[in-house]
Structure 1
Amino acid sequence: MDIEKFIKSNENDLLEATREILKIKSVKSSPLPGMPFGGGPAMALQYALNLAESFGLKTKNLENYAGWAEWGEGDELIGILVHLDVVPEGSGWTYPPYGGEIHDGKIYGRGAIDDKGPAMAALFALKSLKDSGIKLNKRVRVIFGTDEESGCECMKYYLKHDERLTMGFSPDANYPIINGEKGILTFSFTNSFANEEGKSGVKIVSFKGGHRPNMVPDYAEAHLLGDIGEIKSIAENYKDEIPGDFKIEQHDNEIIVKSYGVSAHASRPQKGKNAAMLLVKFLGKIKLIGTQYKFIEFLNSMIGLDNTGKAFGIDFEDDISGLLSLNVGIVEFDQNRAIVTVNIRYPIRYSSDQVISQIRKNTPDYIDIVDIYDNKPHYVPEDNILIQKLKLAYEKITGEKAYCLSIGGGTYARMFDNCVAFGPNFPGDPDLAHQKDEYIEIDNLLKNLRIYTYVLKELAQ
């Protein structure tokens, strides 16, 4: 049977479904009754499940934590692990971040590439197999998560309440095949400030930068008490040394310093421009009151604009996954306390204990390290049958040689045995996850549909 005919018949509907689900602002928010991650993620999940039901697929909603659509028969279960939640949109978009608009052969929107476009491609791949009448002797399940960007509580819930997979993949990274994912370590530095009323120096009233640990902050803002002339003079004197974009304003008795950067995924912080740490570097040139200055000095001397952790002695590297990376994702100050949240991607051959112990060794006693969260590395050997099948499908559709690689990003694959990340980005594609003007090229979306359809056919027959 010519499966291409059925893939082709689903192309226009795939484009429309992708546009529609991009219009749903599925950013995690405060829980609501029956909606553990807020209304947006629940709405996106319901859209996907309603669509799957209209295809005649078996579906299940797991209390709005996760859901799935399934086709096929047999005891073995093949999984495609996708997520429908998105990070906040940030600023500076050319087109509406929740518009699902098409321009120059691209569909724009937050989540277009990470991960709503691939999620729809996976669902329509399953529909294409069903439409073709091909008999599957294994069940294929597209599992929709709704909290991938904020801790993966969705998949933890799934694993407690539903069936484990025989094997599977997550279309939430790059081609050809991601068989290794670095460990992900998140924690916060905290520091309390002494009451220093009456002391000379500029005082930080508040400082806020960043939305999530896994994003490079593209904006930060500090409110200060001091002399605006002095602060503007520092900005002018150090403009060549500090590669930031700052705007300084006076509102009543407060001076507001705004810092503008470029967002990027925390697994590739060098692709962005950290507005929060640029502002920390700027504040390091100001004569701040004592305890605030000490903490700013610590941040500048031990992190600054470096993404490798070298000052802490954690610039680790291995032959499987390469160098460690470090991102300061959130900075929050008030007059009494500071919290700085750091996200580290460490190599597969290392452990979080090695990383955190080295950081503790180089952190002064007056600074606490709290809220430590570790997601251990993940690795599937290249001779695994799953990887061999993925290689066959990728080479058939693209005509390119398939190979394995490791990444700093974290996907659902690390939570399951015999699972890897597979697409949707092709070699040479721009890195758009968590950045403004995120899009997916229509040609690539349709190519993903073909690859996933053939992969599922290989795995489930």
Structure 2
Amino acid sequence: MTSSLSTQEQALIPAIEQWIEQHREQLIEDLASWIEIPSISRADRGVEGAPFGAECQQILERALTLAQQAGFTTENHQGYAGSVIYGNHAKDIGLIGHLDVVPPGDNWLYPPFTLTRKGEFVIGRGVADNKGPAIADLYLLKLIRDLNIPLSHNLRIVYGLAEETNMADLAWYSQHGPVPEVSIVTDGRFPVNNAQKGQITLHLAAPVSPLLANFSAGIASNSVPERASIELPDGDFSAVNERIATLSGLSAGRLTAEPLTSGLRLNAEGIAGHAAFPEGTLSAVRVLFSALLELKLVNDHDRPLITFFERFLRSPFGEQAGIAFADEESGKLTFNAGIWSGDAANNTLNITLDIRYPVLTRAEQVLAALQETVAPQGITLTSWRDVPPFYLPVDDRRIQLLQQTWNDLSGRDDKPYAMGGVTHSKVLPRAITFGPGYARTPETSPDFLPAGHGLPHGADEVVHIPSLLAALPVYVIALIRLDRWLQSQS
């Protein structure tokens, strides 16, 4: 343990580690009961008291019931969010998580809504983003209570239910619920995050032929499409199937064909992942369009638009889309065409984009540049929504306190980081994203999963249990220090 920890802090660490070991198996068992609920946020199915659908209401009730059984006070904020409170003080420190998940998608080797345990790893939709960290928050309250750690503020967990869609959950809560003096958002990675790119979710409409008007792919705007298929009613299955073996470009090894009563279907496979972290991902739509061009399976009418889209998708940093903005504070813009939905009645292809733009860039700049790129193809921007960037300077006292806590416990000399990922820091005042994600090393990476599996938002989402639980000592010391600092400011 580093000498930067006080004597009292150092004395706590063995007791914290012993407590974690004693409660580890129960935490995993409780997590399994959360994973089995497919809590995909569905505002279109919302009703009074359950604005994000029945499954989100179910997971919120299960989480609050578990907290009540542990002896904590709970509050249901009209179904938009739920709170778990420990303490009897005038003011709160928050722990912010979310219980909604992205749709599972395809290509799972393990059941997405059943927790699978493989050694030190657990697999299931939400184990990393964000049910695993969310249940760790509840156990953090238990730990602090059981070890009788004195604080001058309540600890308030706030569980959201629409983080993966538009964050209407905590946007509502920030207007109606008690907002903590400062909050830790447990939906990122260590060390501390001081900058989050802006996020534009926008819709494009392209006039297309019947071929593309029947095309669809993708499950969420913020997930890279893993599979894409297209039907060729006039195609010769035998001839095309033979030619697939000759593919040498991007689509080689990623394309299959299946016969239909009339023609054939081409199926492309990409590498799924989170739109904000595109390294290592590959859009199945680009794979499919590349194959159509290489195999010369499109006519003169469709070829220009498919060629445009294939180029449009070549880089997740927006070079071919004309939106390659960047700054030193937060890095490069990223973009993802996550949902493709044909409208055969109107011969239109609708595309939903997720764009994460740098903190010093304005949304209007991005939209104007994108419009200039797509307009010559007859493509229009039909609607868009902007969530502006989050930014705190590195010398902010809260940022410094959390960063120093991480460095003290890890023995490292890390600096605050910027990211394209968007968390509830964007919509809840005074909320800072801090862990519990960890760097993947050979020891913390699942060697039993193929490449492209195991990522948040991808197939076979996985978390390394020891690494998740290693966040608890960091949070305990961080909360003690935040509590003391807030007291000094009052």
What TM-score, normalized by structure 2, do the two folds share? Answer: 0.86
Cα distance in 1, alignment partners of residues 70 and 40 from structure 2:
27
Q: Within 5 Å, which residues of 2 pair with 1:175-214? A: 175-193=190-208, 203-204=211-212, 206-214=214-222
8 Å Cα contact 1:284-1:300 kept in structure 2: no
Q: 88-97 or 176-185, which moves further after superposition?
A: 88-97
Q: Within 5 Å, which residues of 2 pair with 1:62-461? A: 62-193=77-208, 203-204=211-212, 206-228=214-236, 231-232=240-241, 235-236=244-245, 238-240=247-249, 242-243=251-252, 245-285=254-294, 286=296, 288=298, 292-301=302-311, 303-335=312-344, 336-364=347-375, 366-428=378-440, 432-461=455-484
Cα distance in 1, alignment partners of residues 351 and 46 from structure 2:
28
Q: 357-366 or 139-148, which moves further after superposition?
A: 357-366
Cα distance in 2, alignment partners of residues 351 and 377 from structure 1:
9
Match of 2:39 in 1: 26
Using the aligned pairs only, state the percent identity. 28
8 Å Cα contact 1:216-1:264 kept in structure 2: yes
Cα distance in 2, alignment partners of residues 11 and 240 from structure 1:
48
Q: 230-239 or 25-34, which moves further after superposition?
A: 230-239
Q: Secondary structure at the match of 1:373?
A: strand
Cα distance in 2, alignment partners of residues 407 and 379 from structure 1:
11
8 Å Cα contact 1:331-1:339 kept in structure 2: yes
Query: CA 1:204/1:275 → structure 2, altered by over 3 Å: closer, same or farther?
Result: same
8 Å Cα contact 2:213-2:348 kept in structure 1: no
Q: Secondary structure at the match of 1:21?
A: helix
Match of 2:449 in 1: none
Count how many residue pairs are aligned between Structure 1 and Structure 2: 453
8 Å Cα contact 1:72-1:135 kept in structure 2: no
Deviation per CA, 1:229-260, whole angstroms, max 9, x where unpaired?
56446645544353461111221124211111
CA RMSD in angstroms, aligned pairs only: 2.3
Which consecutive unaligned segments of at least 5 residues does structure 2 have? 1-10, 446-453, 485-490
Q: 154-163 or 445-454, which moves further after superposition?
A: 445-454
For residue 80 of structure 1, report the CA deviation from its aligned partner. 1.2
Query: CA 1:248/1:313 → structure 2, altered by over 3 Å: closer, same or farther?
Result: same
Q: Secondary structure at the match of 2:113?
A: coil
Q: Output the amino acid matched with 1:300.
A: E
For residue 292 of structure 1, report the CA deviation from its aligned partner. 4.2
8 Å Cα contact 1:89-1:436 kept in structure 2: yes
Cα distance in 1, alignment partners of residues 245 and 34 from structure 2:
46
Match of 1:15 in 2: 28
Q: Secondary structure at the match of 2:336?
A: strand
Query: CA 1:459/1:287 → structure 2, altered by over 3 Å: closer, same or farther?
Result: same
Q: Output the amino acid matched with 2:425.
A: A
Q: 352-361 or 223-232, which moves further after superposition?
A: 223-232
Cα distance in 1, alignment partners of residues 41 and 428 from structure 2:
23
Q: Output the amino acid matched with 1:453.
A: V
8 Å Cα contact 1:112-1:438 kept in structure 2: yes
8 Å Cα contact 1:111-1:438 kept in structure 2: yes
Query: CA 1:31/1:241 → structure 2, altered by over 3 Å: closer, same or farther?
Result: closer
Q: Output the amino acid matched with 2:399.
A: I
Cα distance in 1, alignment partners of residues 247 and 363 from structure 2:
37
Cα distance in 2, alignment partners of residues 7 and 104 from structure 1:
17
Cα distance in 2, alignment partners of residues 6 and 43 from structure 1:
29
Cα distance in 1, alignment partners of residues 397 and 250 from structure 2:
53
For residue 395 of structure 1, report the CA deviation from its aligned partner. 3.1
Query: CA 1:300/1:95 → structure 2, altered by over 3 Å: closer, same or farther?
Result: closer
8 Å Cα contact 2:314-2:320 kept in structure 1: no
